[in-house]
Structure 1
Amino acid sequence: MKQLILLLILSTCVIGCKNDSEKTKTSTSSAKELSILEKIANAHGYKNWKNIKKLNYTFNVDRDSSHYERSWQWYPQKNEVKMLSAKDTIEYFRKDMDSIQQQTDQGFINDKYWLLFPFQLVWDKGFQYSVEENVKAPISEKSMKEITIAYDHQDGYTPGDTYKIYVDKDFIIREWSYIASGSQEPNLSTTWEGYQDFKGLKIATSHQNKEGNFKLYFTNIKVE
């Protein structure tokens, strides 16, 4: 979060990715208070995820005058993925990948982090987090709650990356920053906006940087 597809990801969106476990870490006791990560996931519709059988979406990046896109079909209950781009169509099961499919999976994880990062907060393992109140968000400069997610240096495709997410009083992500492993300052900060409801999933469909020369957005979202 070096094959051609990985170079393209890094040059366009500079966002690292983790090889997530996609396992729920929710409390077994209804009386136990939810963690802030669970509150964020639930605010984005995580309780409805168990009903999702298929998710289609197109990942788009506009950077200055260039445009890039690729589309995905994901069957989460079977962990089956199909990627469609201008050059390739690749279909695979995430638990049984060859080297070519693993390269494609790096793109899948990257794009899924942009789409469903609130759910990664309860799917993922191998990170530490901290919470700070009343922090100035990097783009709007509004005062928000900042949660720092620091991944370990062992797991995933790009271990050691850090994310800082900025949530409002309703635990909705409004902005975030990505800090690559070894960096001290954010490599990229964007908005989380254009929220839409897809069968109970609250998804931010658009992300832009402060300068306005980078936009990452999702089209053709379909949930079954």
Structure 2
Amino acid sequence: MKNISLLIILFLLLGSCKKETNKNLNPLEKIAYAHGFENWNKVDEIKFTFNVDRDTVHFERSWEWRPKKNEITLIKNGEELDFNRSQILSDQELAADKNFINDVYWLLAPYKLIWDDGIEYKDPILSQAPISKDSLQKVTIVYSSEGGYTPGDAYDFYIDKDNMVKEWVYRENNDPTNCMITTWEDYKDIEGLKIATMHQNENGVFKLYFTNVSVKTSED
């Protein structure tokens, strides 16, 4: 009986610690961890195809990313380009890296809230989501005007009670007249990473989505 009692006490203490840890997270960290950020350190490779449908026009490119080695493979129009992000050697690799950063942002934006430097954010406020009109918490971030490929950009993340992103607004150079608004939907749990595989605008004419998403972890 003593052993059983000790196990129960230990379980309760661990549960209490976890709650305390969650309380200590800032709003950006809460969003990242809600999307499975704690599982990222196990990822050896992630593959995905980035797709855009605009009216009747379709565009796609595929990526293979080995984050622990910083190695990237771009697959587009049947051709492959391999490069390492720590050593960009050509204009072709630089262009590919800019595209990679864009596509990964759409795929893993909640994680970028932790990864990226130079972010200023405002605490969540209750606000009406622009597409669904639901009452959600809005978290606004603004990037520093220096560094990166798109300095000064801003994003409004609309999150539910579980800190899951449901919609967002992207404002280029933090300009409210130059923005893009899309949903975050069709979430899939892939090796603990919670990824929204579909983003679309209000009328569905623009769709940005991910296919062929796979994750290889150190436990595979």
**Could you say which TM-score interval applies, normalised by the shorter chain?**
0.7 to 0.9
* Structure 1 residue 58 corresponds to structure 2 residue 53: no
Q: Quote the Cα distance in structure 2 between the aligned partners of 1:211 and 1:152.
A: 32
Report which of the two structures shows the higher radius of gyration computed on alpha carbons. 2
**Superposed displacement of residue 183, structure 1:** 2.0
**Superposed displacement of residue 186, structure 1:** 4.9
**Superposed displacement of residue 100, structure 1:** 1.5
Aligned to 1:45: 36
Q: Greater CA deviation, 176-185 or 39-48?
A: 176-185
Q: Quote the Cα distance in structure 1 between the aligned partners of 2:77 and 2:198.
A: 22
* Structure 1 residue 95 corresponds to structure 2 residue 86: yes
Could you tell me which of 148, 151, 163 is aligned with 1:159?
Answer: 151
SS of residue matched to 2:63: strand
Q: Greater CA deviation, 201-210 or 31-40?
A: 31-40
**Superposed displacement of residue 132, structure 1:** 3.7
Change (3 A) 1:212 1:60: same
The size of the alignment, in residue pairs, is: 196
Identity among equivalent positions (%) equals 46
- Correspondence list, 1:1-40, <5 A: 33-40=24-31
Unpaired runs of 5+ residues, structure 2, are: 1-19
Aligned to 1:191: 183
**Superposed displacement of residue 182, structure 1:** 5.6
**Superposed displacement of residue 185, structure 1:** 3.0
Could you tell me which of 106, 123, 127 is aligned with 2:98?
Answer: 106
Relative to its length, the structure with more strand (as a share) is 2
**Letter aligned with residue 148 of structure 2:** G
The superposition leaves residues 89-117 of structure 1 with CA deviations (integer Å, 9 ceiling, x where unpaired) of 11100000122201100000000000000
**Letter aligned with residue 133 of structure 1:** I
Relative to its length, the structure with more helix (as a share) is 2
Q: Quote the Cα distance in structure 2 between the aligned partners of 1:33 and 1:187.
A: 32
Could you tell me which of 114, 127, 133 is aligned with 1:141?
Answer: 133
**Letter aligned with residue 71 of structure 1:** S
**What TM-score does the superposition give when structure 1 sets the normalisation length?**
0.84
Could you tell me which of 43, 64, 69 is aligned with 1:78?
Answer: 69
**What TM-score does the superposition give when structure 2 sets the normalisation length?**
0.86
**Letter aligned with residue 67 of structure 1:** H
* Structure 1 residue 181 corresponds to structure 2 residue 164: no
Q: Quote the Cα distance in structure 2 between the aligned partners of 1:44 and 1:30.
A: 16
Q: Quote the Cα distance in structure 2 between the aligned partners of 1:147 and 1:182.
A: 14
**Superposed displacement of residue 178, structure 1:** 0.5
